[in-house]
């Protein structure tokens, strides 16, 4: 626990990290430990700011306390895939003693911002609001909801987002927001080859003024180490297979609590029932009994690099539509070079029990071939190399 003025306050990131090392969940890493220290200092500064805000109405009681800086600088952590950035940010998010806080994938946050901007513009047309510029009221509302914002996978690829980031974050910081973010790239490399990048550059300066920048430069990709030891196709279905799937999920996500994610897609959303970082988990029914198609599967593949699929049944002519969707799903994940972890009723070569010689049987033969290839050592090594290049 931290001790302040003789009072115990919160469990530290250091204590949580040491516990995870002691229980074998993670391997002690000096690069990670440097970030641990910075996150603990940030928690102290945020806690002091909260206390100062609460005591402002009781100045006579806290008159002797040193003045707390009005602005708390956040932290932007960047480094390669699998180095533990998200794990450490999640520990920070859990422990930071603030109620109005939000942890969100950066792309989801920006989709929310764009939705709010559109709603404001519509309200302006209808005459229910007077402000022409939607950025100040949107930023104010976001800050009132959450003044500590944690962004996973901070990246900028959309020009519509890039063009508003400077004004949006200037307004958020002016409203007292504290930012903690993880990214694969340094701030100077954000939106590097983007259209009209010169209009984006002021945002980098704003970000660096309001958040310290730290590198998590570990030489080891811990996620890949664990992934490369995991089975990726498990059958038959049963309690033992479910347990092994859960163990694989826990290893890949480092035990992070999964959340439901909505991926915006052409005016609707694709629901991801369980997501943690770059990993997503579905049941076969979620993906293939529901009326999804190639566009939906591509949206999932663009967002996640590891896909878990539970409880794939043996398919025959009575389940023609789910079988066709499964074929599309595997084709999409194969073409986009994703890592897939599957639990199934039978081995891949026995998953289709329909009539031989039919179109579905022919198409499923390709699916079987791809499922077998995606289990191979060559596929796993190629996937690992792709992840390393992406970082």
What pLDDT, on the 0 to 100 scale, is given for residue 391?
46
What pLDDT, on the 0 to 100 scale, is given for residue 56?
56
C-beta of residue 15 within 8 angstroms of C-beta of residue 201: no
Q: What does the pLDDT look like over 183-194, one tens digit per residue? A: 888 999 898 888
Regarding predicted confidence, which is higher, 289 or 231?
289
What pLDDT, on the 0 to 100 scale, is given for residue 377?
76
3-state class (DSSP) for residue 10? coil
Q: What does the pLDDT look like over 239-271, one tens digit per residue? A: 999 999 998 898 888 767 789 999 988 788 999
3-state class (DSSP) for residue 40? helix
**At 379, is the pLDDT very low, low, confident or very high (cuts 50, 70, 90)?**
confident
pLDDT at 227 over 80: no
270 bridge partner residues: 263
pLDDT at 25 over 90: no
In whole angstroms, give the CA distance from residue 355 to residue 353: 7
Count how many residues are written for the chain.
Answer: 391
Same topology between domain 3-215 and domain 223-390: yes
Average pLDDT over residues 102-122: 89
What pLDDT, on the 0 to 100 scale, is given for residue 155?
85
CATH number for region 3-215: 3.40.50.300
pLDDT at 38 over 60: yes
Q: Across the chain, what does the average pLDDT equal? A: 85
In whole angstroms, give the CA distance from residue 247 to residue 253: 10
What pLDDT, on the 0 to 100 scale, is given for residue 374?
87
C-beta of residue 32 within 8 angstroms of C-beta of residue 215: no
The dihedral over CA atoms of 170, 176, 177, 180, expressed in degrees to the nearest 10, equals 100
Residue 230, judged by CB atoms within 10 A of its CB (0-12, 13-18, 19+), counts as: middle
Q: Where are the domains of the chain?
A: 3-215, 223-390
Helix axes 30-55, 13-22, angle to 10 degrees: 150
DSSP alpha helices (H): ranges in the chain?
13-22, 30-55, 85-95, 106-126, 135-145, 159-162, 165-174, 201-210, 222-227, 239-253, 284, 294-303, 320-335, 359-374, 377-390
Average pLDDT over residues 96-100: 91
Domain 223-390 maps to which CATH number in 1.10.3470, 3.30.70, 3.40.50, 2.30.30? Answer: 3.40.50
Average pLDDT over residues 79-95: 86
Regarding predicted confidence, which is higher, 164 or 68?
164
pLDDT at 10 over 70: no
C-beta of residue 227 within 8 angstroms of C-beta of residue 92: no
In whole angstroms, give the CA distance from residue 169 to residue 217: 27
In whole angstroms, give the CA distance from residue 305 to residue 218: 21
pLDDT at 5 over 90: no
User: Considering only CA atoms, which of 352, 346, 347 is closest in space to residue 364?
Assistant: 352
């Amino acid at each position: 626990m931290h001790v302040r003025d003789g009072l115990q306050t919160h469990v530290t990131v250091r204590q949580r990290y040491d516990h995870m090392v002691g229980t074998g969940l993670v391997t002690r890493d000096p690069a990670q430990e440097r970030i641990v220290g910075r996150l603990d200092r940030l928690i102290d500064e945020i806690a002091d700011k909260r206390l100062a805000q609460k005591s402002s109405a009781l100045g006579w009681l806290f008159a002797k306390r040193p003045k707390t800086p009005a602005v708390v600088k956040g932290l932007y952590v960047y480094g390669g895939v699998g180095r533990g950035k998200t794990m450490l940010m999640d520990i920070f998010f859990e422990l930071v003693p603030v109620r109005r806080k939000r942890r969100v994938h950066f792309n989801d946050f920006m989709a929310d911002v764009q939705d709010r901007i559109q709603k404001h513009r519509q309200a302006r047309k209808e005459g229910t609001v007077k402000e022409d510029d939607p950025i100040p009221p949107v930023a104010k509302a976001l800050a009132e909801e959450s003044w500590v914002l944690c962004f996973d996978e901070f990246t900028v690829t959309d020009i519509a987002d890039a063009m508003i980031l400077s004004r949006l974050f200037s307004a958020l910081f002016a409203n007292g927001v504290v930012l903690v973010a993880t990214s694969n790239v340094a701030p100077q490399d954000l939106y590097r080859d983007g259209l009209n990048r010169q209009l984006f550059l002021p945002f980098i300066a704003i970000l660096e003024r309001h958040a310290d920048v730290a590198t998590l430069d570990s030489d080891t990709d811990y996620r890949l180490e664990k992934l490369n030891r995991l089975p990726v196709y498990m059958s038959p279905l049963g309690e033992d297979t479910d347990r092994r799937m859960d163990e694989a999920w826990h290893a890949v996500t480092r035990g992070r609590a999964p959340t439901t994610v909505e991926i915006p897609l052409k005016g609707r959303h694709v629901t991801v029932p369980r997501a943690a970082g770059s990993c997503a988990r579905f049941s076969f029914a979620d993906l293939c009994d529901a009326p999804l198609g190639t566009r939906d599967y591509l949206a999932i593949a663009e967002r996640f690099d590891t896909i878990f699929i539970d409880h794939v049944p043996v398919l025959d002519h009575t389940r023609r539509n789910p079988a066709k969707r499964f074929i599309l799903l595997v084709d999409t994940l194969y073409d986009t070079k994703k890592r897939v972890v599957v639990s199934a009723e039978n081995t891949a070569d026995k998953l289709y029990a329909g009539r031989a010689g039919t179109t579905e049987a022919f198409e499923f033969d390709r699916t079987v071939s791809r499922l077998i290839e995606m289990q191979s050592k060559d596929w796993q090594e190629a996937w690992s190399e792709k992840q390393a290049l992406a970082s």
